[in-house]
Amino acid sequence: MFLSIIIPTYNRAGFIGKTLASLLVQDASASDFEIIVIDDGSTDNTREMMESFDRTRVRYFRKENGERSAARNYGARLAKGDYINFFDSDDLAYPHHVRTALETVQRLQSPEVFHLGYDVKDDKNRLTRTMCDLPTKVNGRLIDGNHLSCNGVFIRADVCGQYPFLENLHVSEDYQLWLRLAARFDFHAIKTVTSTVVDHQARSVFKIHEEKFLKRMALLQTSLEADERFMQVYGGQLGTFRAYLFIHTALHFAMAGLSSAKVFRYLLAAVKNKPTVLFSRRFAAVLKNTIL
């Protein structure tokens, strides 16, 4: 089997049906891919909703809540595919998602990891952004932010087994893994858009616990700076990396409605680490969210 699509979910009964429907109408052969749903201890009617799907097409597993990283790793251990794709349970795939991945693997002769393009739409299906202009190898771009969608990343199964998600990191755990992989392998980026990130108000970015969020961002930084290979490749750009983390924190605080003083504190820290971020699009986005 070529591909295992792993979907971790928690209390997304109102969304995951559309996600699965979009994956079940792929224009690739059904024998080329499997869909594995990992229910991370949902307390809504996810279990009942999943009963409407053919279990020969969608494998469903329920586990105690352990956050996304643990759910993704759990799914990866169950996977039968040569490649692993972690798809979010509130997003959508275009019909050519699997086929494009298969063609990419054949063309690049079984790369360790690659990313397909994506777009972002609001909950009324209006297009707000398209991400398909990354360089052919995205390694150098990742140090200044997570430009990737989890839906678009495909990891060869042997690599995925060697480099799992860090399970005690419950925020930006995908970014942490992308950087670990980018420090070790060519991270290819393909321009073809094959999935949609749905930007709805129930997304977790709008609901954060300040103290927990800061501890997790600190863990993101320390875990990578303790990675010898990461430091060999990216150690000379730590100012850029830390500046991005501060902007990321400021943006989440602004989106969650925390005080402007707290938002500006992290924007200032970002500028101190890399003054040129003052002119970046993300810095402007934080200001817009804070002012509005």
pLDDT tens-digit series, residues 210-249: 888 999 999 999 999 999 999 999 999 999 999 999 999 9
| Range of weakest confidence among 164-168, 227-231, 251-255 | 251-255
Share of the chain above pLDDT 70, in %: 97
pTM (two decimals): 0.93
pLDDT for the residue numbered 63? 95
pLDDT for the residue numbered 208? 74
Closest CA to 76 of 34, 130, 20, 29: 34
pLDDT for the residue numbered 204? 54
pLDDT for the residue numbered 13? 94
Asked whether the predicted pLDDT for residue 176 surpasses 90, the reply is yes
Cα 111 to Cα 90: distance, rounded to the nearest angstrom: 28
Grade residue 252 by pLDDT with cuts at 50, 70 and 90: confident
Fold classification of 3-202 is Spore Coat Polysaccharide Biosynthesis Protein SpsA; Chain A (3.90.550)
Residue 76: how many CB atoms within 10 A of its CB? 21
Q: Where are the domains of the chain?
A: 3-202, 205-291
Grade residue 188 by pLDDT with cuts at 50, 70 and 90: very high
Asked whether the predicted pLDDT for residue 250 surpasses 80, the reply is yes
Residue 233: how many CB atoms within 10 A of its CB? 17
pLDDT tens-digit series, residues 41-80: 999 999 999 999 998 999 999 999 988 999 999 999 999 9
Closest CA to 20 of 57, 47, 72: 57
pLDDT for the residue numbered 291? 65
CB-based contacts of 169-172 (< 8 A; 24+ apart in sequence): 169/69, 169/216, 169/219, 169/220, 169/223, 170/67, 170/68, 170/69, 170/212, 170/216, 171/208, 171/213, 171/216, 171/217, 171/220, 172/146, 172/216, 172/217, 172/220, 172/248
Grade residue 281 by pLDDT with cuts at 50, 70 and 90: confident
Asked whether the predicted pLDDT for residue 205 surpasses 60, the reply is no
pLDDT tens-digit series, residues 90-113: 999 999 999 999 999 999 999 999
Asked whether the predicted pLDDT for residue 209 surpasses 70, the reply is yes
Closest CA to 105 of 89, 120, 83: 83
